[in-house]
Amino acid sequence: MALVIQAYTFMYQYANSWLHTASKKQPGALKMGVLSAAQINPAAAIHPAETHPGVILYAIASRDESTAKSTARKYNFQKHYGSYEALLADPEVDFVYISTPNGLHYEWASKAVKAGKHVLLEKPFTSNAKEAEAIVREAEEAGKVLMEAFHWQFHPAAHLWRSLLESGKYGQIVSTDAKMTASPGVPHGDIRWQFDLAGGSMMDATYALSFTRYALRAGVPEKILSAVARPYDKDERVDAAMTATMLFNTPGGQTVHSRVYTDIARSWVGGLIPRIWELPQIEVETEKAVILFYNAMMPHLYHYIAITDKSSGQTEYKKQYAGGPIWDNVETSTGKGGESFWSTYRYQLEAFVSKLQGKEPACWVTGEESINQMKTIDQIYQAAGLPLRPGKV
C-alpha cells in the first residue's frame, strides 16, 4: 500500500502547491539544490518549497544533463547541472536535499557538507550504522546542519498521538506492533531490491521501526528477541519481508515488547486483490487501552488515532491536521500553527528552514536518533542472519 499512498501524496502536493504557491519570496530566502531526479522529489521537496516563502527552487542535478534540464524547466528551477559535483560547487546553494539511492546517501552527504552545504537527507539515513556515525561527525566538524528526512515525525497527528501515549491517562505502555507493507509490491528491477545500493524491506519500510522508537522515545533495543526474513527470490541477501521482535527500555524505566513487520512484496488476497487497505500503522497497547495510529506515514492524506478502552471495549477517534501539542503556538512562515493542507514534508521543511535561519525548530530528528535507527537496523539484519548493507566507511 505504501506505493499507492505515495502516488496520492504526489497528487495532493501538486494540487496544494498550485493553490497555495508563495506569491513572493522573503528577502534572503534560502536557495535549495536537489541532488538526483528521483520520483519522490516533487512531493518531498519541490512542492513544499513552492509554498514556503523562505525557500527558492534554485538548482537541480542529475547524472544525465538532459534529465536535469527537463526537470528544471518543468519545476522552474533557476539552474540545472549534469553532475552532482557541479551543483555542490555552486556557491549560491545554501542547502541540498539528497534523494539518491540508499547506498549513495553517505557519499553525497559527506561531499555536500565538505562543500559547505547544509543537508536534508532522505531516509534511511545511510547504508549502516558506521556510515551514520561518520556523517554525523563530519557535519558537526564542518558546522553544517544535517537531518534525516523522517517527515512523518513533523506532522501534528504524530505529536497528538505521542502526547496521548505520554498523558498518563492510559497507563504505561506494555507493547507495540508496527507494520508497513507494499501491495502491489515494489517492481522487480527497482533499485530497492539491489543489495549494493542498500536495498531491502527493513531499509525501505524503515518507517515501521521509526514509529516504534518514536512512540517509546527509545534508543537501540535492549535485546533482539527474534528476526526472521523472507528473502528476495533473486538475491537472498535482500529481505523482501522482515519480522522482528525486540525489547526496548523507555526513558521511564519500563521494558516494552515491540514487534515490527515490513514487507515490500506483500501477497495479494487470493492472488487477485492487492491489500490496498494496509496503510502504515502502529498499535500501542497500554495498561488501560489499545491506541492505533492508522496511516502514520502520510497522515496529511488521511489518518485516525483509535483509542479502545480495554475495560469497556469502547473506541474513541481523534485526528489532527494543524496546530496540536507542538505547532499550536509556533509562528510559522504563514501564520501560527501551520496550515491544515500542509503535508508531512511541508511541516518538515518548515522546521528545517527555521533551523537554518537560526531559530529553534518546533521539532527535529537528531543525529543521535538517526544513528540509533541505523544501529537497530544493523542488529535486526544480524539477528536474521543477513549481511549488513555495504558502506564506504
What is the tens place of the pLDDT at every residue in 78-128? 999 999 999 999 999 999 999 999 999 999 999 999 999 999 999 999 999
Q: Which residues contact 216 (CB under 8 A, 6 or more apart)?
A: 173, 176, 248, 250, 256, 258
What pLDDT score does 16 carry? 59
CATH 3.30.360.10 range(s) for the chain read 153-329+366-383
Least confident residue range of 139-153, 220-234, 259-273: 259-273
What pLDDT score does 287 carry? 98
Average pLDDT, the chain: 94
Q: Which residue has the cell 540545472?
A: 80
Determine contact, residues 48/13, Cβ cutoff 8 Å: yes
Neighbour-count burial for 133-158, b at 16+ CB within 10 Å, e otherwise: bbbbebbeebebbbbbbbbbbbbbbb
What pLDDT score does 359 carry? 96
How far apart, in whole angstroms, are the C-alpha atoms of residue 334 and residue 56? 16
Q: Which residues pair with 103 in a beta bridge?
A: none
Determine contact, residues 125/133, Cβ cutoff 8 Å: no
Q: How far is CA 61 from the centre of its chain?
A: 22
DSSP 8-state class, residue 152 = G
What pLDDT score does 270 carry? 87
What pLDDT score does 1 carry? 47
pLDDT digits 0-9 by tens, 61-89: 999 999 999 999 999 999 999 999 999 99
The residue with greater pLDDT, 260 or 23, is 260
Hey, what's the cell of 388?
549488513
Q: Give the torsion sign (CA, 341, 345, 348, 350).
A: negative
Q: Which amino acid is at 191?
A: I
How far apart, in whole angstroms, are the C-alpha atoms of residue 152 and residue 140? 25
Hey, what's the cell of 317?
477517534
How far apart, in whole angstroms, are the C-alpha atoms of residue 301 and residue 6? 10
How far apart, in whole angstroms, are the C-alpha atoms of residue 22 and residue 53? 5
Quick check: 48 pLDDT over 50?
A: yes
CATH 3.40.50.720 range(s) for the chain read 2-149
- Catalytic residue numbers read 123
Q: What is the mean predicted confidence (pLDDT) over 6-20?
A: 56
Where does residue 251 rank: exposed (0-12), middle (13-18), buried (19+ CB within 10 A)? exposed
Quick check: 150 pLDDT over 90?
A: yes
Determine contact, residues 99/122, Cβ cutoff 8 Å: yes
How far apart, in whole angstroms, are the C-alpha atoms of residue 391 and residue 393? 6
pTM, full prediction: 0.94
Look up the CATH architecture of domain 153-329+366-383. 2-Layer Sandwich (3.30)
Hey, what's the cell of 39?
520520483
Q: Give the torsion sign (CA, 202, 203, 205, 209).
A: positive
Tell me the CB-side half-sphere exposure of residue 276, using CA atoms within 13 A: 8
Determine contact, residues 338/327, Cβ cutoff 8 Å: yes
How far apart, in whole angstroms, are the C-alpha atoms of residue 127 and residue 135? 11
CB atoms < 10 A from the CB of 56, how many? 19
Determine contact, residues 221/246, Cβ cutoff 8 Å: yes
Q: Which residues contact 203 (CB under 8 A, 6 or more apart)?
A: 102, 124, 192, 377, 389
What pLDDT score does 276 carry? 86
User: What share of the chain in percent tops pLDDT 90?
Assistant: 91
Q: Give first-to-last CA distance, the chain, whole Å.
A: 34
- CA 172-178-184 angle, to 5 degrees, is 165
Determine contact, residues 347/151, Cβ cutoff 8 Å: yes
pLDDT digits 0-9 by tens, 225-262: 999 999 999 999 999 999 999 999 999 899 999 999 99
CA nearest to 27, candidates 357, 361, 339 = 357
CATH code of the region 2-149: 3.40.50.720
Hey, what's the cell of 113?
557538507
